[in-house]
Amino acid sequence: MTSSEGGGLHAYAALLRRPHVARFLLGGVIIQFPYAMVNMALLIGARDVYGSYSSAGVATAVMSIAGAVIGPTIGRLIDRHGQSRIASLVGAFWIASILGLGLVLVLGLPYWALLLVVVMLGASVPGGSLIRARWRVALRSEPGSMPLALSLTSVAEESMWVLSTPIATSLATLVHPLAALAFGIGTILIGLRMLADRTFQPEPLRAASRSRPLPLDEAAPPSAEEADSAPHGDPGAVGAREVARRAKAPEETLWTGTFVVLLAVLVFYGAFQSTTEIAIVAFAQERGMQAWAGSVSACFSAGSMIGALVYGMRRWPGALWARGEAGVPYSLADACQDHLLGLAIEESARTGREVVTEIEAWATGV
């Protein structure tokens, strides 16, 4: 029995006691704080500068669409070149974009300038994707512990939203939207520092392709017919030719029916989240209780956090799509992301392609 087996809170504690695990988990969560900071600063700042929540809502929607488009590309680059290298570059660009947003709000630049900046803000460090990809390495010899690790990640991320949303609202409404942006920049720097530990960082795809041996089916000896047709009776020539042919064959697509359905669920869930956030802020302002908007929004995250905590405390039988029948208040979006990660792990095991971060980026971006 491994240290993470069993149930209850002891299983979570056993995971966190593993060397280097708490560091990458905490770093990946901290680097997600700017999401709440930027969203709230954008809502409050755009409303004050451009005079309506409609302007703020459009800008928020543009930022979300940009993130959905740019995110998978960032995930693909991370899989190919490594987490530390790409995360540092994207983090620097993210900080520059946040500074640009602050400049637009302070100077009251034209609305098109705001839209340009929010498109840039679509490029962010996918902290959740980095965490889940590292879990795959940390638990390579214990795949049965992956559901527990994913639930722990969901608990940590929802805890982040419970804390960050009220903090962002208080800074943006009681101090200034720029205060929320400054807080977000600080958390990016802290998160990057903690994620610099490469202990469980997945091997970049390029490096892996150079060191990984050929799969067994590609390394198999040629058939009798292939050997007879080889020049000068050299079967090795046939083997080399077959390996080259298979290397040039197009890779199988990740866009399966299950993948598309899960992404569609996340689209509607994301629409619910976006409209609810704007509605809460507007209603709180109407009631003269704007500072409480973040606390109300945090209640949604608290529900998902409790659901994920309960969900991970036991092993659930059956397929993931059917587990909603168990009555556990586990967020549907979190369940979809976990299923997508399962598809990524299965794809990686079958083809040797490191696609975990890319698929997670699709899920998070959508």
Predicted confidence (pLDDT) per residue in 228-279, tens digit: 454 554 444 444 554 454 444 445 455 666 667 666 776 777 777 777 777 8
- For position 12, what pLDDT does the model report? 84
pLDDT tens column, 76-133: 899 889 898 999 999 999 999 999 999 999 999 999 999 999 999 999 999 988 998 8
Taking the alpha carbons of 265, 271, 276, 277 in that order, is the dihedral positive or negative?
Answer: positive
- For position 183, what pLDDT does the model report? 97
Stretch 169-181: mean pLDDT: 90
pLDDT band per the 50, 70, 90 thresholds, residue 219: very low
pTM (predicted TM-score): 0.70
Stretch 19-28: mean pLDDT: 94
Nearest-angstrom CA–CA distance, 171 and 182 = 10
Among residues 221, 200, 219, 168, the alpha carbon closest in space to that of 37 is found at 168
Return the structure tokens found at 76.
């693909």
- For position 43, what pLDDT does the model report? 87
C-alpha gyration radius of the chain = 23
